[in-house]
């Protein structure tokens, strides 16, 4: 081989060596990522299938009436107890006045019933006194009848007088019982008083319900009413999004759940605030999902068939709570997030996950 040919071969090898090196490095990197992915899937699962959740409460009036004032706007933040809107209270104020009058009348009726009881009691005392008097008079008549001073006719009259007076006592007792039954129990235990009090409480409750207030701190959305609108009891007028309680729901594949446990620490990257990582904790792990397209009781289960080499991975919901309130201003219902969960003291895997979630958080600036 000539010197020129040897030089060309060396030059060719020099050109090929960088390609081989790059290829080798790429293969090594790919193998590393593949192994890390498999290990991390079980010991430090990551997912971008995460959304922020909170409680959604329809604001539903419990009484009907024309809205006289709306004190909130669309997407306004409110505090607990803030008035959202008011319903015309005229009819309900009138109902309270009627209930108060009915209670007063019930009291008067009870007073009249008490007077009837007192009268019936007095009549009974008179009747019992009359019986004693008639019996005393009749005893003398019977003695004189026995001595033939008075006739048997006079004795019969005395005996009839006794029976009549005793009948008056029975009648007086019956009138007293009737008056007591009509009166009922005394005080607030009286049925008429209780009924009047219940009507008054109902009227006062309906009146208080004409003012609709925020149940807690949160936001107002889907505002659908304005002044003059007739609000119907049971029909939502707006939607309240609670701010005090929010969590992340992440849907993890089954093979992510092997080492997952309640209390695992979590790094959270919210798309709404790129570059910032928040801390959280796994609070619950779903143990059931609905896989049937029909779940009607008594019906037949419909099984969905799929073809292909690999079936779709089943996902289960995992709930993550925030460890502090530093993210409160960025919590929007339905907002997307990336989560990195750490299931144990796996130093290298945890370090890679720590780095990965922060890279994703920075990349969220551009997507």
Q: What is the pLDDT of residue 270?
A: 93
Q: Which residue has the higher pLDDT, 35 or 163?
A: 163
The two structure tokens encoding residue 8 = 């060309």
Q: Are residues 264 and 220 in the same domain?
A: no
Q: Are residues 65 and 111 in the same domain?
A: no
- Write a three-state SS string for the chain: CCHHHHHHHHHHHHHHHHHHHHHHHHHHHHHHHHHHHHHHHHHCCEEEEEEEEEEEEEECCCCCEEEEEECCCCCCEECCCCEEEEECCHHHHHHHHHHHHHHHHHHHHHHHHHHHHHHHHHHHHHHHHHHHHHHHHHHHHHHHHHCCCCCHHHHHHHHHHHHHHHHHHHHHHHHHHHHHHHHCCCHHHCHHHHHHHHHHHHHHHHHHCCEEECCCCEEEECCCCCCCCEECCCCCCEEEEEEEEEEEEEEEEHHHCCCCCCCCEEEEEECCCCCCEEEEEEEEECCCCCCCCCCCCCCCCCCCCCCCCCCCCCEEEEEEEECCCCCHHHCCCCCEEEEEEECCCCHHHHHHHHHHHHHHHHHCCCC
Is the confidence at residue 327, as pLDDT, over 80?
yes
Q: What is the pLDDT of residue 350?
A: 87
Q: Are residues 98 and 142 in the same domain?
A: yes
Q: Are residues 82 and 125 in the same domain?
A: no
Q: What is the pLDDT of residue 122?
A: 59
Is the confidence at residue 302, as pLDDT, over 60?
no
pLDDT, mean of residues 141-164: 70
Q: How many CB atoms are located within 10 Å of the residue 244 CB?
A: 12
Rounded Cα gap, residues 215 and 251, in angstroms: 30
Read off the pTM. Answer: 0.64
Cα–Cα distance list, 101 to 114, 197, 199 (Å): 20, 11, 11
Residue 24 lies in a domain: no
Q: What is the pLDDT of residue 237?
A: 92
Residue 272 lies in a domain: yes
Beta bridge partners of 336: 51
The two structure tokens encoding residue 170 = 């029975």
CATH number for the domain harbouring residue 231: 2.40.50.100
Residue 82 lies in a domain: yes
Least confident residue range of 133-142, 213-222, 247-256: 133-142
Domain that holds residue 65: 61-88+210-235
Q: Are residues 312 and 276 in the same domain?
A: yes
Q: Are residues 256 and 297 in the same domain?
A: yes
Q: Are residues 261 and 332 in the same domain?
A: yes
- Nearest CA to 130 out of 160, 168, 173 is that of 168
Residue 22 lies in a domain: no
CATH number for the domain harbouring residue 251: 2.40.30.170
- pLDDT bin (cut points 50, 70, 90) of residue 303 is very low
Q: Are residues 187 and 298 in the same domain?
A: no
Residue 245: phi and psi, rounded to 5, are: -120, 115
Q: Are residues 346 and 276 in the same domain?
A: yes
- Between CA 51 and CA 60, with CA 57 as vertex, the angle to 5 degrees is 155
Residue 29 lies in a domain: no
- pLDDT bin (cut points 50, 70, 90) of residue 304 is low
pLDDT, mean of residues 226-255: 91
Residue 218 lies in a domain: yes
Least confident residue range of 128-132, 224-228, 241-245: 128-132
Over residues 229-242, the pLDDT tens digits come to 999 999 999 999 98
Residue 27 lies in a domain: no
Provide the number of structural domains found in the chain.
3
Q: Are residues 263 and 329 in the same domain?
A: yes
Q: Are residues 259 and 277 in the same domain?
A: yes
Tell me the average pLDDT of the chain.
Answer: 79
Over residues 117-151, the pLDDT tens digits come to 556 565 666 667 777 767 767 676 666 767 676 66
Over residues 180-210, the pLDDT tens digits come to 666 555 655 667 767 777 888 889 889 999 9
The two structure tokens encoding residue 221 = 């959305």
pLDDT, mean of residues 242-263: 88
Is the confidence at residue 316, as pLDDT, over 70?
yes
Is the confidence at residue 301, as pLDDT, over 50?
no
Rounded Cα gap, residues 164 and 137, in angstroms: 14
Residue 143 lies in a domain: yes
Residue with tokens 């007076």: 165
Note the Cα 152 to chain centre separation in Å: 87
Q: Are residues 74 and 102 in the same domain?
A: no
Is the confidence at residue 11, as pLDDT, over 80?
no
Q: How many CB atoms are located within 10 Å of the residue 305 CB?
A: 4
- pLDDT bin (cut points 50, 70, 90) of residue 349 is confident
| pLDDT above 70: percentage of residues in the chain | 70
Over residues 54-111, the pLDDT tens digits come to 999 999 999 999 999 999 999 999 998 899 999 999 999 999 999 888 877 776 666 5
């Amino acid at each position: 081989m000539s010197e020129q040919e040897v030089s060309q071969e060396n030059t060719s090898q020099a050109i090929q060596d960088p390609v081989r090196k790059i290829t080798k490095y790429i293969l090594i990197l790919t193998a590393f990522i593949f192994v890390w992915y498999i290990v991390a899937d079980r010991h430090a699962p990551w997912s971008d299938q995460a959304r922020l959740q909170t409680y959604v409460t329809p604001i539903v009036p419990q009484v009907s009436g024309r809205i006289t004032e709306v004190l909130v706007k669309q997407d306004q933040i409110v505090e607990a107890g803030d008035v959202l809107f008011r319903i015309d209270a005229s009819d309900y104020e009138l109902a309270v006045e009627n209930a108060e009058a009915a209670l007063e009348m019930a009291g008067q009726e009870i007073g009249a019933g008490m007077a009837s009881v007192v009268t019936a009691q007095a009549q009974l005392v008179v009747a019992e006194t009359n019986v004693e008097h008639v019996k005393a008079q009749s005893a003398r008549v019977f003695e004189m009848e026995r001595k033939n001073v008075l006739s048997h006719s006079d004795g019969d009259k005395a005996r009839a007088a006794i029976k009549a007076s005793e009948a008056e006592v029975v009648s007086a007792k019956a009138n007293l019982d009737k008056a007591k039954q009509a009166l009922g129990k005394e005080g607030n235990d009286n049925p008429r008083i209780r009924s009047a009090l219940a009507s008054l409480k109902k009227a006062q409750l309906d009146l208080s319900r004409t003012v609709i207030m925020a149940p807690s701190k949160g936001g107002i959305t889907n505002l659908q009413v304005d002044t003059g609108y007739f609000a119907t009891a049971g029909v939502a007028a707006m939607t309240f999004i609670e701010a005090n309680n929010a969590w992340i729901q992440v849907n993890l594949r089954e093979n992510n759940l092997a080492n997952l446990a309640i209390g695992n620490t979590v790094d959270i990257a919210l798309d709404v605030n790129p570059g910032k990582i928040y801390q959280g904790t796994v609070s619950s792990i779903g143990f059931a999902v609905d896989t049937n397209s029909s779940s009607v009781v008594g019906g037949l289960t419909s099984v969905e068939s799929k073809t292909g080499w690999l079936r779709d991975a089943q996902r289960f919901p995992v709930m993550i709570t925030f460890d502090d309130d530093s993210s409160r201003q960025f919590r929007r219902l339905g907002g997307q997030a990336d989560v990195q969960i750490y299931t144990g003291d796996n130093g290298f895997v945890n370090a890679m996950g720590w780095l990965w979630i922060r890279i994703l958080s920075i990349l969220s600036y551009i997507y």
